[in-house]
Amino acid sequence: MSDAMDLLRSVKDQTDETEFYTPLPDGYTLGSTRYVAVFGTVISGLGKGIFSSSLAKLLKDKGLRVSPIKLEGYLNFDSGTLNPFRHGEVFVLDDGMESDMDLGTYERMLDQDLTGANFATSGQIFQAVLSKERAGGYLGRDVQMIPHVTGEVKLRLRTLAVKTRADVVFVEVGGTVGDIENAFYIEALRELSYEEGPGKVAFMALTYVLSPPALGEQKSKAAQLGIRRLMEYGIHPHVIAVRAEKPVTTKVRQKLSVYTNVPVGRVFSMHDLPSIYLLPELMREEGLDSEVVELLGLGGRVNSAHEFKAAGAWARFTSTIGSERHEVRIGITGKYTALRDSYASILKALEHAGVAHDTRVHVEWIDTTDVTDDNVAAGLAGVDAIIVPGGFGTRGTAGKIACIRHARANRLPYLGICLGFQMAVIEFARNVCSLAGAASTEMDPDCEHPVISILPEQKQIEGLGGNMRLGGQDVDLTEGSLAAELYGTTKIRQRFRHRYEVDPRYIETLQAGGMIFSGRHPVHPIMQVLELPRDIHPYFIGGQFHPELTSRPLRPAPMFHGLVRAALERAGARA
């Protein structure tokens, strides 16, 4: 039993007589849960989420119960207001939390749904501390970064452990060591390691090895200094993952080992791979998962039979990556095409569906800002299908409508997501139903035919007010429809992130023109899936939801699976 545990037991309630403040959730036992904390050094964007989720997957494969949490340094309460150009896509969880895109990586790697408990920002932490202070929760003490803010961080981690009954909680600290905004997270994890006791917390440091072309060799000095900065915080890493373009040389791994007291066997080369889904197998081959199990004393909880089965399923999934027998080209038409992370989940959903069809999906990026009716045919020449993804605002919408019209008229396989669903309704209303003034009140509040709008009764029904409809919602599919065929059922649950809907006053007109609303809200007149008859178009479908958010490597999103299949058929016909 550590000194810290003895002290914590004696100071359960904070008083003026002690400087300890570590609130524990009901049902939590110190030392029972293990923690893996992942930090980034040198530069941002090293792939902490990819590393952490891959390692977490390997421990889950062993039969351990794992739960990740991303700690973000920014003061926003969530990721909902962040510009995709600055921070990548907003990943919506089933409970409606708008989170960082790394949560999508965790969900896909672990094949498990996460909640708001798996995501925290500085804004959330500070709000919780100030709310407690206003309620007198600190018994008149002056509220400080240490111990109160760090105590709140530790409480979040331990509450997650209790809620999910996790054997191991994976903690990813956003940003780079040395950033002001994440320093209190690092301190909280140092305290956590002390309080939980030896062998209960493993620290992982990601770093970056430079390869200047003029020198022709890998240079490790920046990596050494970055890890030194972490050690100055009192964090001594147990494992170092080294990002590099090519495999890290033995010489560099030895240098980092000597500099940090980390055994060479725990200095892992995390070099570039054709797919992130190859990383877990590389880790397994290097024995990194076994090292972590040993570090955390989890050998007695490992289920070897479960690991054998899980590893085999994953190996079958990855076996065709890089050697696919077929190829298709799919256009993504949007306004954030300059930053690929804006559509990270769509790219992964395409990869999942491509692997299922033994097909390499080549993505063509089409900025709809510059697309018109006059140049759309040239812009879409050579693609076998298109996706119009979600988005907000007016810019690029005219180009999206032009792309949709071209796809509809030329039997080009089409998938509309959220805004892409709405734009398909507008295009159909204008060009098939002869409603020349059809538009969305988001773009044109005074349009003649607001086929997409926010209705007062819908606000009242959903209790949304001016906010978005967020998170998981049930969808009823029409029996015999393309959508029901894709999903294999008439009852599905999907994730939404939108304010505007199809105006019920126009549904009859749209249906008379030939549009099928094959997915609806179970109770209210909210249209959630549209499609065209298959004798008119081989594959034209749209969802008001985001199907990409629930796509998993071993279970591709049905709408993407169908799109790749339709693209293959078109590519074959063209050949």
Q: For position 10, what pLDDT does the model report?
A: 46
Q: How many CB atoms lie under 10 A from the CB of residue 408?
A: 19
The span from the CA of 359 to the CA of 349, in Å, is: 13
Distance CA 69, CA 65 (A): 14
Alpha-helical segments (H) within 203-330: 221-232, 250-260, 279-286, 288-295, 304-318
List the catalytic residue out of 172, 418, 442, 449.
418
Contact 507, 535 (CB under 8 A): no
Q: Confirm whether 457 is a catalytic residue.
A: no
Q: CB-based contacts of 105: which residues, under 8 Å, 6+ apart?
A: 49, 50, 53, 276
Rg value, the chain, Cα = 26
| Model pLDDT, residue 12 | 52
pLDDT of residue 200: 97
Q: Which helix (H) or strand (E) is 37 found in, with range? A: strand 34-40
Question: What are φ and ψ of residue 529, in 5° steps?
Answer: -140, 135
- How big is the CA angle at 240 (ends 234 and 242), to the nearest 5 degrees? 130
With a cut of 70, list the residues of the chain below it in pLDDT. 1-18, 85, 336-339, 393, 455-467, 573-575
How far apart CA 25 and CA 328 sit, in angstroms, is 52
| Contact status, residue 184 vs residue 145, Cβ threshold 8 Å | yes
**Residues 161, 476: Cα–Cα separation, whole Å:** 35
Contact assessment for residue 39 and residue 85, using Cβ atoms and an 8 Å cutoff = no
How many angstroms separate the CA atoms of 201 and 296, rounded?
7
Separation between Cα atoms, residue 15 and residue 141, nearest integer Å: 8
Lookup: tokens for 102: 């790394």
Q: What is the pTM of this model?
A: 0.92
Q: What angle do CA 5, 7, 12 make, to 5 degrees?
A: 95
Q: What is the pLDDT of residue 2?
A: 52
Count other C-beta atoms under 10 Å from residue 181's C-beta. Answer: 14
282, exposed or middle or buried, with CB in 10 Å at 0-12, 13-18, 19+?
A: middle
pLDDT at 472: 95
- Per the annotation, the verdict on 418 as an active-site residue is yes
**Which of 237, 194, 236 lies closest to 22, judged by CA?**
194
Predicted local distance difference test score (pLDDT) of residue 164:
97
Q: How much is the pLDDT for 400?
A: 94
pLDDT at 11: 47
**Which of these, 310, 272, 266, lies nearest to 286 by C-alpha position?**
266
For position 464, what pLDDT does the model report?
Answer: 44
Q: How far is the C-alpha of 54 from the C-alpha of 61, rounded, in Å?
A: 11
Domains of the chain, start order: 21-316 (3.40.50.300), 327-574 (3.40.50.880)
Q: How far apart are CA 37 and CA 189, in angstroms?
A: 8
pLDDT value of residue 324: 87
Euclidean distance between the first and final Cα of the chain, in Å?
71
Q: What is the per-residue pLDDT for 45?
A: 84
Residues 6+ apart with CB under 8 A from 476: 490, 491, 519, 520, 521, 522
In whole angstroms, what is the distance from residue 264 CA to residue 207 CA?
Answer: 15
